[in-house]
């Protein structure tokens, strides 16, 4: 059954791949995955995962670790390395152990594949690691004679764990590492339990295989499975081994299809830009987690390299879905579904959710970009069932804003919280510590809803654009009355936004207080969101682009910081939303400029980002944000929404 299913999958994906001629082998090492795990919770290094698995690996950085893949890194509510070289190969010939640390080594990371080639003493050792399911990675080891002699070798493995609360149980060709407190299980399994002897004790284990005949110039090989079950109760008694060649072919076809689908949508990129796009794709796939425990659909972490990001956030999900739709629309659909699984009876979608639902943050939501995400995913998938499934949920979410975040019922909304705390209201904006909120206070709307005492231009611009998205979705669903109603609402809202938030004297859009006249004149990305939303007239758009092009304000080394470079509170290193360049806001500015035909300026700004962003065109990780003056990557590495927006920026080059 397994082989038949894989054969069908290969055929289907091959059909797509043949149309695009993308080859993952053209893109080795778009990320530097060489690392040494020194502490269990030091997880900042780049890693590789696939198929939504909850464990990941890297390549060894030290010669002493040759014969092993670094890790695994185990993920659930947090991340922890099980060990540095949990499964290290040893080879013995004629009673003498071969020292693999002295081998000539080639280590590569291809999209979907880790590969390690070692040459020593007339032997070639090839180790290939792929994921074969949502819980299982498979490693094949092949040994080829290069000497022209008949030889006999005995393979063995050893491993040592950091052993933070784990218990080893070994026997019958497998080794289980139980984490009883977390209800997790990691399993190592060989295909033939009669040929492999495994002994485990405390934090160490050892396995010896059978003596193997290696014909002259011949090749021998074997495979093993390494599986991680965040919910140990879902672990099978033992795994069934797929045929590695079939699994590897399916893996290659799937990855070639990912790349081919994207490059078909983004033709004309040069090789450095293609490598950046591939880096963004592998980042998103590595951050993809399959349904587990209280996560009912697959979702995408912001980053596997930051302990605080082992969950799924709402506006992250909408952005990630738009980028992922260019690569894998089904993953993008589930990334949206997983958040709406927790939509409440009033229509609100939580800020973030976790595999343990007791940790979900229901104190706030995030800016209303869900309809944008759904529509863009539909444009790639052309799946009307998905639109039908999501439409009523999107409508309830949109209406929730006006019922719970319009304090004075004037048709303009505010950011707020469900518990009355200002910190949660700042989180709801997505711009946690933005200067524009420094003097804001809370106002109660109803028993479970509070607003900040300022109306925000970006929030209302998002709501305007969402009405148009909902109209477009309703049109696709042949709900003509709904489509017309959404357009009427958008038409009525547009002049309200321009009247309330546009400051003609400064030529920019600003938040405003509800209890006194005037604007909160802080130059930030919220002021160019009306450009993206299509709210500006020609004169307003011209004024906004002048701010964007001003080197003293937004046209910095990496352009479009989250606070004017001339503002006293500008502090990219420590400021988070007080100066760093975030690529979502960057992308919205670029899209807005293009809508109003400022194409040359848009191209100039993107070129500055690509040329000056630390490691973007190299093999460094894609960061959460960037220093606008130095180009240094800041905060979390291998960040999902940065990757998604890079895919969008490159597509529109």
- Indicate if the pLDDT at residue 353 is higher than 80: yes
pLDDT at 639: 98
Over residues 427-451, the mean pLDDT reads 98
Q: Whole-number mean pLDDT of the chain?
A: 95
E-assigned strand segments in 25-182: 34-35, 55-60, 70-75, 79-81, 88-93, 96-98, 104-110, 113-120, 123-131, 136-145, 151-160, 167-171, 174-179
Where does the pLDDT of residue 22 fall: very low under 50, low under 70, confident under 90, or very high at 90 and above? confident
- 138-149 residue pLDDT tens: 999 999 999 999
Over residues 562-576, the mean pLDDT reads 97
Over residues 212-239, the mean pLDDT reads 95
Over residues 342-365, the mean pLDDT reads 98
pLDDT at 468: 98
- 97-116 residue pLDDT tens: 999 999 999 999 999 999 99
- 161-192 residue pLDDT tens: 997 778 898 888 899 999 989 999 999 999 87
Over residues 368-373, the mean pLDDT reads 98
- Indicate if the pLDDT at residue 278 is higher than 90: yes
Query: Across the strands, what pairs with 508?
Result: 503
> CATH number of 28-245: 2.40.30.10, 3.40.50.300, 2.70.98.50, 2.60.120.10?
2.70.98.50
- 422-433 residue pLDDT tens: 999 999 999 999
Burial 438-456 (b: 16+ CB within 10 A, else e): eebebbebeeebbbbbbbb
Q: Which residue has the tokens 């499975």?
A: 225
pLDDT at 173: 85
Work out the percent of the chain whose per-residue pLDDT is above 70: 96
Work out the percent of the chain whose per-residue pLDDT is above 90: 92
- Cα separation, 9 vs 191, whole angstroms: 24
Domain ranges of the chain: 28-245, 523-597+613-638
- Cα separation, 450 vs 549, whole angstroms: 37
- Indicate if the pLDDT at residue 20 is higher than 80: no
pLDDT at 18: 40
Over residues 543-572, the mean pLDDT reads 98
Where does the pLDDT of residue 201 fall: very low under 50, low under 70, confident under 90, or very high at 90 and above? confident
Region of 94 please: left (phi>0), alpha (psi -120 to 50) or beta.
left
């Amino acid at each position: 059954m397994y082989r038949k299913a894989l054969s069908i999958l290969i055929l289907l994906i091959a059909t797509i791949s043949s149309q695009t001629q993308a080859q993952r082998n053209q893109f080795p090492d778009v990320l530097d995955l060489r690392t040494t795990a020194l502490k269990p919770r030091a997880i900042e290094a780049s890693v590789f995962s696939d198929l939504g698995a909850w464990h990941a690996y890297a390549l060894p950085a030290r010669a002493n670790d040759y014969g092993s893949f670094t890790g695994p890194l185990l993920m659930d509510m947090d991340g922890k390395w099980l060990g540095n070289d949990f499964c290290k190969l040893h080879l013995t010939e004629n009673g003498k152990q071969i020292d693999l640390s002295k081998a000539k080594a080639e280590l590569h990371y291809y999209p979907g594949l880790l590969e390690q080639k070692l040459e020593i003493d007339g032997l070639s050792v090839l180790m290939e690691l792929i994921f074969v399911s949502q819980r299982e990675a498979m490693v094949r080891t092949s040994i080829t004679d290069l000497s022209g002699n008949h030889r006999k070798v005995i393979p063995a493995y050893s491993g040592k764990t950091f052993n933070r609360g784990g218990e080893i149980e070994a026997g019958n060709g497998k080794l289980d590492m139980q984490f009883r407190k977390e209800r997790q299980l990691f399993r190592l399994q060989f295909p033939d339990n009669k040929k492999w002897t495994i002994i485990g004790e405390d934090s160490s284990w050892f396995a010896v295989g059978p003596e193997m005949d290696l014909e002259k110039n011949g090749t021998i090989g074997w495979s093993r499975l390494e599986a991680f079950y965040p919910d140990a109760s879902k672990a099978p008694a033992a795994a069934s081994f797929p045929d590695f060649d079939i699994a590897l072919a399916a893996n290659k076809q799937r990855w070639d299809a990912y790349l081919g689908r994207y490059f078909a949508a983004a033709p004309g990129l040069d090789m450095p830009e293609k490598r950046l796009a591939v880096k963004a794709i592998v980042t998103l796939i590595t951050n993809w987690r399959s349904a587990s425990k209280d996560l009912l659909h697959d979702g995408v972490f912001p980053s596997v390299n930051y302990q605080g990001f082992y969950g799924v956030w709402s506006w992250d999900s909408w952005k990630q879905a738009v980028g992922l739709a260019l690569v894998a629309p089904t993953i993008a659909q589930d990334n949206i579904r997983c958040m709406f699984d927790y939509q409440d009876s009033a229509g609100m979608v939580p800020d973030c959710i976790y595999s343990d639902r007791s940790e979900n943050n229901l104190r706030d939501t995030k800016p209303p970009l869900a309809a944008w995400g759904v529509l863009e995913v539909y444009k790639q998938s052309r799946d009307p069932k998905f639109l039908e499934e999501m439409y009523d949920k999107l409508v309830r979410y949109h209406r929730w804003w006006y019922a719970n975040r319009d304090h004075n019922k004037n048709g303009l909304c505010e950011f707020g919280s469900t518990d009355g705390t200002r910190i949660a209201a700042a989180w709801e904006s997505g711009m946690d510590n933005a200067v524009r909120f420094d003097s804001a206070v809370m106002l109660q709307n109803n028993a479970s809803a509070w607003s900040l005492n300022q109306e925000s231009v970006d929030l209302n611009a998002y709501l305007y654009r969402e009405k148009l998205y909902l109209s477009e979705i309703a049109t696709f669903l042949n709900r003509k009355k709904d489509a017309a109603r959404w357009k009427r609402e958008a038409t009525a809202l547009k002049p309200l936004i321009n009247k309330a938030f546009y400051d003609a004297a400064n030529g920019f859009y600003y938040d405003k207080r509800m209890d006194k006249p005037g604007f909160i004149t802080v130059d930030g990305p919220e002021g160019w969101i009306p450009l993206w939303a299509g709210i500006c007239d020609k004169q307003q758009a011209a004024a906004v682009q002048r701010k964007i092009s001003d080197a003293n304000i937004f046209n910095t080394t990496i352009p479009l910081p989250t606070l004017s470079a001339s503002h006293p509170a500008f502090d990219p290193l420590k400021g988070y939303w007080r100066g760093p360049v975030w690529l979502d806001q960057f992308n919205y500015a670029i899209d807005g400029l293009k809508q109003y035909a400022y194409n040359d300026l848009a191209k100039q700004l993107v070129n500055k980002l690509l040329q000056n962003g630390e490691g973007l065109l190299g093999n460094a990780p894609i960061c959460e944000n960037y220093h606008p003056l130095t180009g240094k990557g800041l905060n979390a590495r291998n960040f999902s929404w940065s990757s998604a927006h890079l895919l969008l920026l490159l597509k529109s080059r």
